[in-house]
A = this chain, B = another copy of it.
Amino acid sequence: MKKVIIVGAGLAGSYMAYAMGKKGYEVQVFEKRPDPRKSSYGSGRSINLVVSHRGWTALAYAGIEEEIRKIVVPAYGRQIHDLEGNESYFAYNIDNKAIHSISRGEFNKTLVELAEALPNVNITFNSFCEHVDFNKGTVHMKQGEQLNAYSADLIVGGDGANSSVRNALMKQPRFNYSQDFIDSGYKEVHIPADQNGAPQLNIDALHIWPRREFMLMGLANTDNGFTGTVFAPFDGEYGLDHLNTGADGMRYFEKYFKDAIPLIPDLEEQWENNPTSALVCIRCNPYHWGANTMLIGDAAHATVPFYGEGMNGSLEDVRVFLELLDEHGDSDMKKVLEIYTEQRVPAGNALVDLSLRNFIEMRDLVADPSFQLRKKIERKVQANHPDKWTPLYTLVKFTNIPYHEAKAEGERHDRIMEEILAMDGVEENWDSEEVEQEVLRLFESVR
């Protein structure tokens, strides 16, 4: 039985531990943080994630879909709040399929428990990876005052955006890496349930207050509260670098998110005390080293959160790798890892690109009439010709088509819709047979 060491018991790491354990591997997981079941997670900054089709596919592959279905909250669409406080609702999908919101902490605890219940999986907390020796296949873990070396046939870096395994790889020649911070950051504000424990906003929707250069977003929690997040540039008059005090925050909300103020009784206090955080995009290549090391999840491709796909792409990394093992076996691990890199590097890069693109869409385009017109036309064509027109969002959220293929198809749609939106009178006759036929014609001809 081959031995696998996974560095990091986050979502990707603990999911992989469970799935590799089920395959019969001897799995040792090291996690630098304390056991999440014995401590609060992430020091009060609740983080909500969305499980999309890719996430469910990975969970189903490992046979734990039903387990996780118990702890999600469905979201069927976006609810847009304009400057005047008007709200409008846009379903994600014409079939009324939902995406599912989940608490990162709860999800993680569940995966850790599932993995640890297997006799051949062991998880050791409070263990920090100081060094990896790729030639010897050893990881050197700082555990309390001790530095202990452990060896394995496969070392997996599932240790997130600040990955120690990737940091060790970065010292190898021919390992490419970049970290790019975007010009915007974020600050969270918690929107509680009302006195009766009921939600203050439509609980079935993801809420967005799009304001072009910035936005407020609200994502439901299981307790009927919402995690609100302001995403905004650091610079400028209303840049986060210049909105430090509670009074600054209140003035900002008065001007741009007035209807949200009554939802957050302690807004000033939260604004002043919650940290302003930066958002990074990480890319690297390859995702493996030799025949014994690989990266999964944020360690390979951390991204901004605007498509809600970071976690789904991470689970997909693991699912794809597991299927490669099913197909090729593990006798030539070098070859399996090479295919893994070949398939997942373009997917990881596209995931980052798509996430950046969706930031523009969410904060900006949803407030743009021509974007809404485009969505209406696409929705109609999709409804009438579901076999042909699958919008980018659907490709990303409701299929397992590799991200880079979805991205390419989305860019093709952009070229088609650019021509459609340039048609005379399209604002009035978008619903006409003529427009629909032109979309279909371009669908066949535009490459």
A150 on the interface (CB 8 Å rule)? Answer: no
- The answer to whether B181 and A178 have CB atoms under 8 Å apart is no
Name the residue in A179, A234, A277 with the highest tally of chain B Cβ atoms < 10 Å from its Cβ.
Answer: A179
A38 on the interface (CB 8 Å rule)? Answer: no
Contact string against B for A residues 174-191, beta-carbon threshold 8 Å, 1 for contact and 0 otherwise: 111111110000000000
Q: Which residues of B contact A277 (CB under 8 A)?
A: 173
Q: Which residues of B contact A264 (CB under 8 A)?
A: none
Whole-angstrom distance between the alpha carbons of A171 and B175 in the complex? Answer: 18
A219-272 residues at the B interface, CB under 8 angstroms: 234
Report whether over half of chain A's contact residues are helix, strand or loop; otherwise say mixed.
strand
Q: Residue of B at shortest CB range from A281? A: B176
Residue in B171, B174, B176, B177 whose beta carbon sits within 8 Å of that of A162 in the complex: B171
Contact string against B for A residues 341-354, beta-carbon threshold 8 Å, 1 for contact and 0 otherwise: 00000000000000
Residue in B162, B176, B278 whose beta carbon sits within 8 Å of that of A180 in the complex: B176
A170 on the interface (CB 8 Å rule)? Answer: yes
Q: Residue of B at shortest CB range from A283? A: B178
Residue in B171, B175, B278 whose beta carbon sits within 8 Å of that of A181 in the complex: B175
Whole-angstrom distance between the alpha carbons of A174 and B179 in the complex? Answer: 9
Q: Which residues of B contact A170 (CB under 8 A)?
A: 179
- The answer to whether A178 and B175 have CB atoms under 8 Å apart is no
In the complex, what's the smallest C-beta–C-beta distance from A340 to chain B, in angstroms?
19
Q: How many residues of A contact B (CB 8 A)?
A: 16
In the complex, what's the smallest C-beta–C-beta distance from A155 to chain B, in angstroms?
21
Whole-angstrom distance between the alpha carbons of A173 and B174 in the complex? Answer: 25
Whole-angstrom distance between the alpha carbons of A170 and B277 in the complex? Answer: 16
Q: Which residues of B contact A162 (CB under 8 A)?
A: 171
- The answer to whether B177 and A179 have CB atoms under 8 Å apart is yes
- The answer to whether B171 and A176 have CB atoms under 8 Å apart is no
Residue in B174, B175, B181 whose beta carbon sits within 8 Å of that of A176 in the complex: B181
Whole-angstrom distance between the alpha carbons of A178 and B175 in the complex? Answer: 11
Whole-angstrom distance between the alpha carbons of A176 and B278 in the complex? Answer: 12
Q: Which residues of B contact A280 (CB under 8 A)?
A: 173
Q: Which residues of B contact A181 (CB under 8 A)?
A: 173-176
Whole-angstrom distance between the alpha carbons of A174 and B180 in the complex? Answer: 8
Q: Which residues of B contact A179 (CB under 8 A)?
A: 170, 175-178
A295-340 residues at the B interface, CB under 8 angstroms: none
Whole-angstrom distance between the alpha carbons of A170 and B413 in the complex? Answer: 38
Whole-angstrom distance between the alpha carbons of A177 and B171 in the complex? Answer: 14
Residue in B175, B177, B278 whose beta carbon sits within 8 Å of that of A174 in the complex: B278
Q: Which residues of B contact A180 (CB under 8 A)?
A: 176, 178
Q: Which residues of B contact A173 (CB under 8 A)?
A: 181, 277-278, 280
In the complex, what's the smallest C-beta–C-beta distance from A47 to chain B, in angstroms?
17
Whole-angstrom distance between the alpha carbons of A162 and B167 in the complex? Answer: 12
Whole-angstrom distance between the alpha carbons of A174 and B239 in the complex? Answer: 15
A57-77 residues at the B interface, CB under 8 angstroms: none
Whole-angstrom distance between the alpha carbons of A177 and B166 in the complex? Answer: 14
Whole-angstrom distance between the alpha carbons of A178 and B171 in the complex? Answer: 13
Q: Which residues of B contact A176 (CB under 8 A)?
A: 178-181
In the complex, what's the smallest C-beta–C-beta distance from A210 to chain B, in angstroms?
24
Q: Residue of B at shortest CB range from A176? A: B180
Whole-angstrom distance between the alpha carbons of A162 and B176 in the complex? Answer: 14
Whole-angstrom distance between the alpha carbons of A163 and B245 in the complex? Answer: 37
In the complex, what's the smallest C-beta–C-beta distance from A187 to chain B, in angstroms?
13
Name the residue in A162, A176, A180 with the highest tally of chain B Cβ atoms < 10 Å from its Cβ.
Answer: A176
Contact string against B for A residues 27-63, beta-carbon threshold 8 Å, 1 for contact and 0 otherwise: 0000000000000000000000000000000000000
Q: Which residues of B contact A278 (CB under 8 A)?
A: 173-174
Whole-angstrom distance between the alpha carbons of A175 and B178 in the complex? Answer: 11
| 3 shortest interchain CB distances as A-B pairs | A178-B178, A173-B278, A174-B181
Q: Point out residues on A near B: beta carbons under 8 Å.
A: 162, 170-171, 173-181, 234, 277-278, 280
For this complex, 8 residue pairs linking A to B, each with C-beta atoms less than 8 Å apart, are: A162-B171, A173-B181, A173-B280, A175-B181, A176-B178, A176-B180, A177-B179, A178-B180
